[in-house]
Chains A and B, each alone.
Chain A
């Protein structure tokens, strides 16, 4: 099973005012890409992630996660 999936049918360009992952207020226009992390993968992902380390997560996790986002973004951005 993949570590995450993008809900590509729900990708939209929106202006969003909310709080980001660091607790900071943001107001930004951009692609909203819903990411689904299976519950079965949460333990492994968080167990391997150290927020205090600049080299975490390792490429075995970071690359698949990044590709989920980038594949969905590419599909949405290049859609006719």
Chain B
């Protein structure tokens, strides 16, 4: 993902540096990067071999489950540990690895395709430290969450570590995630209807600070259940879209 300089450091004018470094791109209407789990850049972690396949079309990823799962071990916003399938990769900005010490801001646009309605589902996307581990406080994930009851409408909101805050019955959601200085940070969001009218706001803090500042920050996608009593079976699918943009600032 490229970094776009916003202001000329000498003159303060927008568009980035014009003195020797060339003009920068505008941050107005900055394009999203769409998460494509099939593009070969993502690492799958699936402790219980529950993923059958994943495909990507029309900007959406479709994950198909290979087995049955139930309980909080297969959710992302409950319980001390999670064994649900997840994908991750290092978060690089303009070729530079973002670390837990960097002051990171990430925007996320999330949307669920509710025409795929096989079970009561949940899916998350965000920044994480150890997405390959199963302990939630080690994963230290923070970002966006989508949940849906079979036959119901989509819910969107903020995901922090192993908890969530959501609005029900919305079309899509945009989160702003901040983290850095070793902390897991916080996630705030605004939900929208189909005509792009704002229909609610929310936020959630991780309350997780004092961590190491030299670890790589990763981005991750996790699939799973909506509630502990829900059940997913082999062949059940989830179809979701996540788009994001990330940048760092100096302290």
Contacts and interface: CB of A to CB of B under 8 A. Distances in A.
A79 interface: no
Given A25-B72, A25-B78, A27-B78, A14 B166 contact: yes
Interface residues of A, number: 11
Contacts, number: 38
A27 B155 contact: no
Interface string A5-36: 00000001011111100000101010010000
B167 A14 contact: yes
A25 to B, nearest CB: 5
A17 B77 contact: yes
Contact of A17 (B163, B168, B200): B163
Nearest to B200: A12
A15 B145 CA distance: 12
Contact of B157 (A14, A25, A27): A14
Contacts of A25: 72, 78-79, 228
Contacts of A17: 75, 77-78, 163-164, 166
Interface of B is mostly: strand
A79 to B, nearest CB: 15
Interface residues of B, number: 18
Interface string A57-73: 00000000000000000
B24 interface: no
B163 A15 contact: no
A15 B168 contact: yes
A14 B202 contact: yes
A14 B163 CA distance: 13
B175 interface: no
Contact of B163 (A19, A29, A32): A19
B164 A16 contact: yes
A40 B163 CA distance: 30
B167 to A, nearest CB: 7
B225 to A, nearest CB: 11
A15 B157 CA distance: 9
B238 interface: no
Nearest to A18: B163
6 contacts: A15-B167, A17-B75, A17-B77, A17-B164, A17-B166, A27-B78
Interface of B: 72, 75, 77-79, 147, 155, 157, 163-168, 200, 202, 227-228
Nearest 7 pairs of A and B residues by beta carbon = A18-B163, A17-B77, A15-B166, A17-B164, A25-B78, A14-B165, A16-B165
